């Protein structure tokens, strides 16, 4: 590492803001362990008093349809509208999955699905209202700017109106879906039919100003350059300076099976750990950095807690999208707790807004419910899911208003 890079790393560890150019230099050249140590120093200072804690959440990802007109090249989940592989899940089935989530101690549901050509704002209003009426304690942390752009277009309304209406129907926060890579060249290469990265951020800024906070993700390994990865961070940080609405940053890695990219490029585990560390050093205005065990594996997820991450993500009671592309990692609540403890941290179950719901200081107090497991997939893997999967039918909901 050059003398100048070493000085930048010292400044970043001390809490000074670094530029995108400096971040790129560190990402390219800083020794891995020095980079991780600096990021962990920042984490410890940010969470002084609770720096010994690492959090997790129990949630369920519910897919309402695989019909999608966007055709992203990295996606193995979607089906074109006229394909014989299309399906839509009905409201009865969705509510059953919500009930199971509550029964197993889950606090959050995430909705993921395709950009269905017939699903406008009314569809989401009806679904969210039905869920909140039946299970008011469940947090609906779902969708993102891409879905807002699509539903607004289908319904012929502005993104502002779409966000206001789904918020009134029960949406609590956006999951930051659809960010992928924000810089233009990288985004166009993998998702040419999606809105631009600038438009994605513009809609998120609108949401933040309307009181709907979000997370932000980044998909690594689809052929983007190191400079484009750092540019993604810069674009997010600039919006965060204005809104403060991004609660967490969550990088994850591209999975190579069953999609058009066919694994031509991928991100290594070391690249991922370097990104976790750089994100903690660069995002002086984003509170949380989340490690991902689902795409990188449990050991790398665990290591992320030593590279600046303060959260290990979720015990996913259901997950279909990245598992369709080859992510085969599974976990359960007991293992999640063990992974955190074995990394030298105290596990704490958190809420969507990162409040500690249950801090497990004493291992004797650890939960013992073996049913709380990450079910890899209910649609991509035969026999997946908690219970018998109900027939997938067209979801019919009553529009709100």
- Residue 61: which CATH number? 3.20.20.70
**What is the C-alpha separation between 313 and 198, in angstroms, rounded?**
27
Query: Which pLDDT does position 370 carry in this prediction?
Result: 66
Residue 145's pLDDT band (cuts 50, 70, 90): very high
Give the predicted TM-score (pTM) of the model. 0.88
Q: Give domain status of residue 173, yes or no.
A: yes
With respect to residue 396, please indicate whether it lies within any of the assigned structural domains: no
Report the binding-site residues for S-adenosyl-L-methionine. Answer: 74, 180
Does residue 387 lie within any of the structural domains? Answer: no
Please give the biggest Cα pair distance in the chain.
Answer: 64
Binding-site residues from annotation: 68, 72, 74-75, 180, 292, 314
Q: Strand, coil or helix: what is 38?
A: helix
Does residue 66 lie in a domain region? Answer: yes
120 lies in some domain: yes
Indicate if the pLDDT at residue 395 is higher than 50: no
Residue 112 lies in a domain: yes
Average pLDDT over residues 132-148: 96
pLDDT band at 3 (very low <50, low <70, confident <90, very high): confident
Residue 284: partners with Cβ closer than 8 Å, 6 or more residues away: 15, 17
Which positions make up the binding site for (3R)-3-methyl-D-ornithine? 292, 314
Number of domains in the chain: 1
Q: Give the DSSP letter of residue 332.
A: B
Residue 397 resides in a domain: no
Q: How far apart are the C-alpha atoms of 177 and 151, rounded to whole Å?
A: 14
Binding residues for [4Fe-4S] cluster, by number, are 68, 72, 75
Boundaries of domain holding 247? 3-365
* pLDDT at res. 74: 67
Asked whether residue 55 is assigned to any structural domain, the reply reads yes
What the block records as the tokens of 260 is 């058009």
Looking at residue 329, what is its pLDDT?
A: 44
Q: Which of 76-85, 109-118, 274-283, 316-325 has the lowest mean pLDDT?
A: 316-325
């Amino acid at each position: 590492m050059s003398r100048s890079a070493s000085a930048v790393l010292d400044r970043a560890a001390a809490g000074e803001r670094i530029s995108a150019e400096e971040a790129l230099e560190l990402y390219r050249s800083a020794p891995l362990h020095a980079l991780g140590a600096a990021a962990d120093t920042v984490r410890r200072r940010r969470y002084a008093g609770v720096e010994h804690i690492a959090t997790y959440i129990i949630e369920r990802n519910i897919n309402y349809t695989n019909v999608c007109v966007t055709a992203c090249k990295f996606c193995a989940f979607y089906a074109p509208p006229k394909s014989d592989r299309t399906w839509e899940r009905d409201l009865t089935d969705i509510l059953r999955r919500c009930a199971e989530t509550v029964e197993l101690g889950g606090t959050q549901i995430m909705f993921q699905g395709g950009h269905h050509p017939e699903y406008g704002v009314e569809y989401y209003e009806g679904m969210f209202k039905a869920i909140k009426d039946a299970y008011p304690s469940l947090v609906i942390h779902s969708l993102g700017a891409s879905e807002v752009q699509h539903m607004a277009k289908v319904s012929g309304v502005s993104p502002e109106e779409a966000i206001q209406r789904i918020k009134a129907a029960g949406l609590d926060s956006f999951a930051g879906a659809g960010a992928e890579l924000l810089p233009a060249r990288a985004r166009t290469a993998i998702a040419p039919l999606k809105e631009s990265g600038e438009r994605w951020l513009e809609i998120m800024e609108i949401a933040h100003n309307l009181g709907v906070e979000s997370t932000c993700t980044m998909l690594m390994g689809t052929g983007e350059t190191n400079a484009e990865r750092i540019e993604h961070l810069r674009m997010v940080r600039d919006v965060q300076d204005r809104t403060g609405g991004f609660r967490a940053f969550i990088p994850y890695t591209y999975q190579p099976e069953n999609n058009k990219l066919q694994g031509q490029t991928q991100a290594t585990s070391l690249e991922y750990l370097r990104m976790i560390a750089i994100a903690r050093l660069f995002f002086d205005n984003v509170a949380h950095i989340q490690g991902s065990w689902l795409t990188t594996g449990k050991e790398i997820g665990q290591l992320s807690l030593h590279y600046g991450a303060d959260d290990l993500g979720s015990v996913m009671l259901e997950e279909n999208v990245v598992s369709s592309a080859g992510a085969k990692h599974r976990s359960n609540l007991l293992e999640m707790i063990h992974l955190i403890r074995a990394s030298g941290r105290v596990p704490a179950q958190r809420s969507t807004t990162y409040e500690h719901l249950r801090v497990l200081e004493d291992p004797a107090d650890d939960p013992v419910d073996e049913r709380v497991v990450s079910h890899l997939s209910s649609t991509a893997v035969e026999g997946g899911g908690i219970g018998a999967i109900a027939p997938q039918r067209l979801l019919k909901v009553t529009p709100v208003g």
